[in-house]
A and B are shown apart, each in its own frame.
Chain A
């Protein structure tokens, strides 16, 4: 597995390290401490080759430790809080502690001590624009840099003494002094002397009552600074904490509860709109198979509808074709006068009635015919033959034609006999 690269850039030296392989380049700066274009191009070319040698793909993250120039340290006391609340409180403190807004700073924090109610936080910050040249160099090399402060990173491997003191790191022409008060780092000073001009160091005034060195060779070179004796830091027993990363970009803003609440109706409205748009499509997808199944079964039952039609037609025809024989016999019986005898009554389905019988006289024949006509059931009543018989009665032959069913008069109900 390929290891991540790490870098260290000081006033006069640039180091790159991948696993056990390490390379160094001198850094040339102008009067404004800016890296010169030639040096910049050299770093990009050499580091690019170094990364390629180790088959590092572009876009890899790399830890880049910077020296203490422009780095400010603050010790901030905060109440215990949740992660989101902690970040919010810390930002508020940053706004108060630093002369520029947190957006213009690359900053990081580390909790150094905490009790049941409060926590002591170390904050390291640097102007973003001072890191911009480095960001451009690393970007050109295909590296996404995570910046840290080399002085803090260096002392993390040692036991921290108590009280106020300084940790000195000797460079070739410059040195760094990390100043501690009450066991907490409070500042970094870049001193204008190093291994090449140690005489200045010996005569310099020590800004702290005690000075520690991280290297035994440095202690041999510089046993005293000014009037203060130097000592060697003891290596830490516990593993070193994670490096303090200076964030160059704000983390993605997390919604506060209030903001989340204020956005809730918007989210609900958006969900509702999406639901309204999606509903017809979902309806089609969900209900289509069900509807299709129902329709298939209904269509298969459609043949039954035709059978019902035929059945009802047949029954209606049967009902309509039933001649009203009972009613006709009733009408003939009620129209006949006493003494009337019938020799024959015949009737067909088409409503043609034929009657043959004897009546008392011609008057009764007329009355009988009139009653049949008045009954409202016959369209024509014809006396086909009326012949007087020897017994003074009249033999009569009549025919009549039934009216259509819809033009017949209803037969009055017979009064009940008590």
Chain B
């Protein structure tokens, strides 16, 4: 093999340096591109996380508020079972009436008039004024979503000093809220 003269050696050396620089730049560019892509993905994730945090932040107050309401009603809507809701609510109403010192009368259950109601109950009970007020007070916290649709107070002709209380109570259905959101009521 012919020996390279110094000029040829220098040319080869310069070519090698040039190719080396090119490869270094090319490799560096590829590495930079990959790193930049990873960084862009990361920044996107960070932006997503910030948005999510802003979305979640108000829920702390909402959760506190919901907890207070649940404590007031003594009820967690998530735990209500739709199938036995009316039966259990009816039993709770009678129990509240008994505990308030009222004498329970006839109870009539009728199917719901609205998609958001599970049923409505017509309930008649008699008792003294204090018991009536106690019952009206305790019906709010029976552990079931009850709304007194209408109330009628009349004197009990059979027992002087007693009042007859006719209540129409609506039992709300939380499951329909789960599916449909708010009502127009």
Taking beta carbons and an 8 Å cutoff, which residues of A are in contact with B? Answer: 48, 52, 58, 139-142, 280-281, 283-285, 287-288, 291-292, 294-295, 298-299, 302, 305, 307-319, 321-323, 325-326, 329, 342-349
- Interface on chain B toward A: helix, strand, loop, or mixed SS? helix
> Does B89 lie at the interface of the complex (its beta carbon under 8 Å from any beta carbon of A)?
no
The stretch of B13-21, B57-65, B92-100 that contacts the partner chain: B57-65
Interface hub of A139, A288, A309, A316 (most chain B Cβ within 10 A): A288
Say yes or no: B148 contacts A349, CB within 8 Å: yes
Say yes or no: B153 contacts A346, CB within 8 Å: yes
Report the Cα distance A326→B132, complex, angstroms.
10
Give the nearest-CB partner of B5 in chain A. Answer: A140
Report the Cα distance A376→B164, complex, angstroms.
28
Say yes or no: B3 contacts A142, CB within 8 Å: yes
Report the Cα distance A48→B56, complex, angstroms.
82
Say yes or no: B41 contacts A284, CB within 8 Å: yes
Closest 8 CB pairs of A and B: A284-B42, A346-B152, A315-B69, A284-B39, A281-B35, A345-B153, A348-B150, A312-B66
Say yes or no: B45 contacts A314, CB within 8 Å: no
Give the nearest-CB partner of A313 in chain B. Answer: B182
Report the Cα distance A295→B50, complex, angstroms.
10
Say yes or no: A326 contacts B153, CB within 8 Å: no
Report the Cα distance A315→B69, complex, angstroms.
7
Say yes or no: B5 contacts A344, CB within 8 Å: no
> Does B161 lie at the interface of the complex (its beta carbon under 8 Å from any beta carbon of A)?
no
In the complex, per-residue mask of B149-162: 1 if CB is within 8 Å of any chain A CB, else 0? 11111110000000
Say yes or no: B182 contacts A288, CB within 8 Å: no
> Does B23 lie at the interface of the complex (its beta carbon under 8 Å from any beta carbon of A)?
no
* Residues of A contacting B43 in the complex (Cβ-Cβ under 8 angstroms): 284
The 12 listed contacts between A and B (C-beta, < 8 Å) are A283-B42, A291-B49, A298-B49, A313-B177, A318-B147, A325-B136, A344-B154, A345-B152, A346-B152, A347-B150, A348-B149, A348-B151
Give the nearest-CB partner of A305 in chain B. Answer: B59
Q: Which of A305, A309, A322, A345 contacts B140 (CB 8 A)?
A: A322
Q: Which of A141, A281, A308, A317 contacts B38 (CB 8 A)?
A: A281
Report the Cα distance A163→B25, complex, angstroms.
65
Taking beta carbons and an 8 Å cutoff, which residues of B are in contact with A? Answer: 1, 3-6, 35-36, 38-39, 41-43, 45-46, 48-49, 52, 55-56, 59, 62-63, 65-66, 69-70, 72-73, 77-78, 133, 136-137, 140, 145, 147-155, 166, 170, 172, 174, 177-178, 181-183, 185
Q: Which of A295, A310, A316 contacts B45 (CB 8 A)?
A: A295
Say yes or no: A346 contacts B150, CB within 8 Å: yes
Say yes or no: A141 contacts B66, CB within 8 Å: no
Say yes or no: A326 contacts B45, CB within 8 Å: no
* Residues of A contacting B46 in the complex (Cβ-Cβ under 8 angstroms): 291
Q: Which of A298, A308, A329, A347 contacts B52 (CB 8 A)?
A: A298
Say yes or no: A346 contacts B151, CB within 8 Å: yes
Report the Cα distance A291→B48, complex, angstroms.
10
Say yes or no: B62 contacts A284, CB within 8 Å: no
* Residues of A contacting B41 in the complex (Cβ-Cβ under 8 angstroms): 284, 288
Q: Which of B42, B49, B166 contacts A294 (CB 8 A)?
A: B49
**15 extra interface residue pairs, beta carbon distance < 8 Å, beyond A307-B78, A347-B151:** A48-B3, A58-B4, A291-B46, A294-B49, A295-B45, A305-B59, A310-B177, A314-B177, A317-B172, A317-B182, A319-B69, A344-B154, A346-B150, A346-B166, A348-B150
Say yes or no: B133 contacts A329, CB within 8 Å: yes
* Residues of B contacting A142 in the complex (Cβ-Cβ under 8 angstroms): 3
* Residues of B contacting A344 in the complex (Cβ-Cβ under 8 angstroms): 152-154
Nearest-neighbour CB distance to chain A for B56, whole angstroms, equals 7
Report the Cα distance A312→B182, complex, angstroms.
11
Report the Cα distance A294→B46, complex, angstroms.
11
Say yes or no: A140 contacts B3, CB within 8 Å: yes
* Residues of B contacting A48 in the complex (Cβ-Cβ under 8 angstroms): 3
Q: Which of B35, B145, B152 contacts A284 (CB 8 A)?
A: B35
Report the Cα distance A139→B5, complex, angstroms.
9
Say yes or no: B153 contacts A342, CB within 8 Å: yes
Give the nearest-CB partner of A48 in chain B. Answer: B3
